[in-house]
Chains A and B, each alone.
Chain A
Amino acid sequence: MARFLAGRLLRAFITLFLVVTFAFVVLRLSGDPAQIIMGADAPHEAVAAFRQAWGLDKSLWEQYLGYVGSIFTGDLGRSMRDGRPAAALVAERIPATLALTIPALFLKLGLGIPAGIYAALHRNSAIDRVVMLVAVAGFTIPSFVLGLLLVLVFAVQLGWLPSGGQESWRHAILPVITLGIGGAAVLARFTRSAMLEVLGQPYIRTASAKGVPWRRVVSGHAAPNAAIPTVTIIGFMFGSLIAGAVVVESVFSWPGVGRLMVVAVANRDLAVVQCVLLLVSFTMVAANFTVDLLYGLIDPRLRTGAQGGH
């Protein structure tokens, strides 16, 4: 188990290292940040002063080391537009984003998993077909279209709910529904196929042949085993608590991390973009690592590390 953990930890670190390096390399490849920020017709002295201020006049290697060092100390640079620390800018947006994504996550789990299990248990029934069709539709309707349709119906036509902003909890209803439905569709599809696979296994047939009540076969044998692959996708959803609302926040003018990211990209505010990128990668890697841990706990086969391929 310790060996398994060490391997996963190593992988997590490699991924983080790659992200950090990627951000650095791409930042340098994209041209001279000083010129980009100051504009092509800025006076030479101003550009030189800017370089010195940002450490752009040192060698690439020094810049890289300094860069990695500053990340470890939590210094992620300042917004090149308004001069505030990028990390602070991003941090103050996190609660707003979580206020959308956490309720949406509950909605996804509460809708998607029961729907998937129900569809699997009533395979090829009319309800199964409807659930799957709705699931495919939920997956193929882009969130901005769904969001705008909801606005059109509930805000514009019926006038029940506000169309955007963050003044009260009522403002959060439409964005949460928009986020939740898409995720629930993905989860329902996934849960259904995981359940179907488990239900086809010999031990399920054995259990029901032994006379175990079907309800217990499902809750005691099938569902726990189907949970194993489903954990991956739920982990991914946890990992995207920060990043998953980029489009929806823009639709509903919700001042979260995603909105900040979009504005920063449009303004080419590189420090902020990089800060969001790192934050998202860290949460994603942490979520993946947790999933690996859970896997190790749920599935004893994985603990020994006996995986194929080597």
Chain B
Amino acid sequence: MSVPLLVARGLARRYSMKRGLFGAPTAVAAVEGLDLTLDQGRTLGLVGESGCGKSTTGRMVLGMEAPDAGSIAFAGQPMPRPGSAAWRALRARMQMVFQDPLGALDRRLTIGAQVAEPLVIHGIGTRADRPERVAALLADVGLRPDHAGRYPHELSGGQRQRAVLARALATSPELLVCDEPISALDVSIQAQVMNLLTEIQARLGLTMLFISHDLRAVRQVSHRVAVMYLGRIVEEGAPDAVLHDPAHPYAQALVSAIPGQQGVRRIRLQGDPPNPADRPQGCAFHPRCPLAGPVCRQAVPELKPRPGDGRLVACHVAQGEISPPMQRAA
């Protein structure tokens, strides 16, 4: 039924952190062994706490960073090397919405000039019909034509994010990656931008990767949800299933932390917050996991369908491979 637009297999991205001039570089794995499929016209929500590698995943999906291992195929073609001519041409088909719209806009150029820039870069249309196209794009994202003459600092935060979105949509891309698009906005404006994103996704049939740490935002826009922990996807499935009845202990803790729920006991995680420079052996979550057994300290659990209901989860306990310790948790 669904056709994959982008398929990523076994992605890994390691940064080397150097201490001092001659210090031995230590590898920090931001992403490790990650599989991802983006289906045509669907939205995948990627959640996880900060530092779990979701933004790195987003940049790799866009090809802005080359993975250290693994492969990415966009529309059946391998991702070209970043910066190459083929890569630049491909930008017209995949775009990004940033966390900080003010930082993503050039403060010396008008909104109109910046929305028109992708058209100029990719040689779309003629100089004469660009103003019209810009006006249409601005209208699409709920800005007025006269906003084209304004400078970024003259707009409000929500308007700026709309302008960034208009710029991203200028080349009619197939894939849109939104990296924390609402976390820098006022709460009152977040809902507007969320609605706009869902509406545009549906209207244009965009394929979208929505990255956020906000579970409720992810649920609102996504067709599927993937939960990340320390560079890996630990659970993936339909939003209602993952967010109402999480299978992975980490996802359970995450969901229980959503405020304003009734009848849900909050799971407090113990231990240190995850540190990508010091990844635990076995399941990365085991030091904080209330259910962890000896196997969890040795073997990395695979993301695979759970026996029974076929939910994708990477957990020895949830897979029934080991039994949880007697009533210690929950």
Contact = CB atoms under 8 A, between A and B. Distances in A.
A touches B (Cβ under 8 A)? yes
Contacts of B19: 304-306
Interface stretch (B20-28, B49-57, B186-194): B20-28
Contacts of A7: 20-22
Nearest to B18: A310
A4 interface: yes
A3 B22 contact: yes
A6 B21 CA distance: 9
Contacts of B18: 310
Of residues B19, B21, B23, which shows the largest number of chain A Cβ atoms within 10 Å of its Cβ?
B21
B81 to A, nearest CB: 24
Q: Assign chain B's interface to a size class.
A: under 10
Contacts of A6: 21-22
B164 to A, nearest CB: 28
Interface string B151-164: 00000000000000
A304 B20 CA distance: 6
Nearest to A11: B21
A3 B19 CA distance: 11
Interface string A274-300: 000000000000000000000000000
Interface of B: 18-23
Nearest to B21: A7
Nearest to B20: A305
A181 to B, nearest CB: 40
20 contacts: A3-B20, A3-B21, A3-B22, A3-B23, A4-B20, A4-B21, A6-B21, A6-B22, A7-B20, A7-B21, A7-B22, A304-B19, A304-B20, A305-B19, A305-B20, A305-B21, A305-B23, A306-B19, A306-B20, A310-B18
A4 B23 CA distance: 10
A226 to B, nearest CB: 27
Contacts of B22: 3, 6-7
Interface string A2-17: 0110110000000000
Contacts of A306: 19-20
A136 B23 CA distance: 44
A61 to B, nearest CB: 31
A7 to B, nearest CB: 4
A7 B23 CA distance: 11
A7 B19 CA distance: 13
A5 to B, nearest CB: 10
Contacts of B20: 3-4, 7, 304-306
A25 to B, nearest CB: 28
Contacts of A3: 20-23
Given A3-B21, A305-B20, 12 more contacts: A3-B20, A3-B22, A4-B21, A6-B21, A7-B20, A7-B22, A304-B19, A305-B19, A305-B21, A305-B23, A306-B20, A310-B18
List the 6 closest A-B pairs by CB distance, nearest first: A305-B20, A7-B21, A305-B21, A3-B22, A3-B20, A310-B18
Contacts of A310: 18
Interface in A149-183: none
Nearest to B22: A3
Contacts of A304: 19-20
A158 B18 CA distance: 65
Contacts of B21: 3-4, 6-7, 305
Interface in A1-35: 3-4, 6-7
B31 to A, nearest CB: 22
Nearest to A6: B22
A258 B21 CA distance: 38
B274 to A, nearest CB: 23
B16 to A, nearest CB: 10
Contacts of B23: 3, 305
A7 B18 CA distance: 14
Interface string A60-78: 0000000000000000000
Contacts of A4: 20-21
Nearest to A8: B21
B28 to A, nearest CB: 14
B277 to A, nearest CB: 15
A305 B20 CA distance: 5
Interface in A230-273: none
Nearest to A304: B20
A306 B23 CA distance: 10
A310 B16 CA distance: 10
A29 B151 CA distance: 52
A204 B27 CA distance: 39
Nearest to A305: B20
Contacts of A305: 19-21, 23
B15 to A, nearest CB: 12
A305 B22 CA distance: 9
A6 B19 CA distance: 15
A3 B18 CA distance: 13
A7 B21 CA distance: 7
Interface string A104-131: 0000000000000000000000000000
